[in-house]
Amino acid sequence: MNQPTFLDHLPKFAFFTGKGGVGKTSATCATALALADQGKSVLLVSTDPASNIGQVFDQHIGNQITTLNTAPGIDALEIDPEAAAATNRESIIKPVRGLLPKTEIQAMTEQLSGACTTEIASFNEFADLIADPDLTSDYDHVLLDTAPTGHTIRLLELPGDWSQFIDEGKGDASCLGPMAGLESRRSVYQAAVNALSDPARTVLVLVARAQRSAIQEAERTSRELAALGMGNQHLLINALMPDLDGDSLAAAIRDQEHKELASLPSGLARLPYDTTTLHSRNVVGINSLREFFTATPTQSEQAANHVREVAGKYPPLADLVDQLAEQTHGLFMTLGKGGVGKTTVATAIAVALAERGREVLLTTTDPAGNLTDTLNGTVANLTIAKIDPDQALREYQNEVMATKGTRLDATGRAQLMEDLQSPCTQEVAVFRKFSEAIREAHDHIVVIDTAPSGHTLLLLDATGSYHREMLHQMGDNLVATPLTRLQDPDYTKMIIVTLPETTPVLEAEQLQCDLQRASITPWAWVVNRSVAAAHPTSEFLHTVADGEIPQIKHVQHLTERMAVVPLLPTPPIGQDSLHSLSQSAPLARSASAR
């Protein structure tokens, strides 16, 4: 087994973080096994809602420390973040249930149901492991799958009584709710933060793929946490395409990955880093874990026929476009976790509809200038509107600080500003901008990249403030709010975008449940960057493709409509490339042309 260099001087605690699907869990488990093989005692902890540590080691683990039968020297613990969030939520709501009106209880429940609540509840679960040396004294190393974000660390470092801050109405509905009632653990949090900031005790392993979005996320995480004192960082570029003789698709992807590595952002380029090679099968079992850091690709001769038989039946994006093109107006939104390609899918849909003569407005959080470059100029019938999320957030922050903030003391203003820097607040701010585009869908087709989550929609609806604001802005003749328009399947069609991998599919399934809580049923799913749909030629890629099939089948059970978009040899840049995505078999032609 080739050892990654970060094992050379590994401190007590190692956090593995990165976008969903980049291989955090596999990297964490493989590292734990490498340490155990050296005779080290290891505690392996996951706070990832998509955790499959038990599957990797073929043993049930759950929310208690469990000795792994297949890997002597490793104990494991899977913290269920949803269960932790539910417990935290109930501890806050139970004392006032029966005392407050039902609508207020519903508002509190939704305020405590977002991603920030889950993350802080998770941190609350493993804070003791970091803060109390006695709890981990029997272990040489504690490996944690998924690290807290910079936002969570900032929240935990801020002083003050969060319960009072919420009860007195100083903060708007956003991410502060999770902190209410937790100030009694302030000393534990401070000890945990101190350990995270100590390079002698903690290292942060940034896991990424050699893809632009994953690298950008790693760079943002690195910068944000370094600013908070977590400067001991190591980069792990996972799953590089191996050198496969005679496979033009693999060669093109390999070239693109090396270009990304050659142009790493300066913040990442200065970090020490290791690389791993793409595995053709899921990393499950002791043998595959021991091979995780090796560079020898494995393959299956039986996979090719299975892939050819099944992949040929996958519906292309063109099928969804045909149905969308039947409308002359309406709102089409792509949703999904970062890095799954929702911007590309939204743009491809917009281009395809414009080419069919529809008047289309494409609204995205990407700068309009970059999209214009991507399209190689203008496209007939297509208009691009710019929404800058940072600018939207600044405008909203300034508005709140100029009103509510003027009534607070210095501590209260600091707490309010932290509240206004939360992910939930930015989503609210961007949604205010999106609402203008929602109205325009009365007259023509509007394609929106990145829709708000169901949590944000319910949060806005429960508080009533945004609803009243829209009534005030739009006048008494308003017959529907933005939320009711999103709930109308004839007016709005939401499309979930994911990848044919375990974690992205699970995250997308959670997103669908989130939307259903807001009475929104996604119209369709798009499985993006599928090797199976790309008609590979090598046995290695056939084996990779075969591993995608169970995930695609799972998606078929979750939705009435689905499209599978093949992995392109190069990123889809330019109108011709985007056009090819919405055709029946773009990759068969692309691969043969190379």
Catalytic annotation, residues: 21, 23-26, 48, 503
Question: Minimal CA–CA distance to 239: which of 257, 256, 219?
Answer: 257
Q: Retrieve residue 335's tokens.
A: 């949703």
According to DSSP H, which parts of 263-341 are helical? 266-269, 286-290, 303-311, 317-324
Hey, is 493 helix, strand or coil? strand
Alpha-carbon distance of 276 to 242, in angstroms, equals 10
Residues contacting 121, CB < 8 A, separation 6+: 81, 84, 85, 87, 88, 178
Hey, is 273 helix, strand or coil? strand
Backbone angles phi, psi at 166, to 5 degrees: -75, -50
Q: Where are the beta strands (DSSP E) in 89-154?
A: 141-145
Alpha-carbon distance of 556 to 298, in angstroms, equals 28
State how far the alpha carbon of 232 is from the alpha carbons of 34, 225, 364, 453, in Å: 21, 10, 35, 33
Q: Compute, in degrees rounded to 10, the torsion defined by CA atoms 403, 404, 410, 411.
A: -160
Hey, is 368 helix, strand or coil? helix
Residues contacting 516, CB < 8 A, separation 6+: 454
Hey, is 199 helix, strand or coil? coil
Hey, is 195 helix, strand or coil? helix
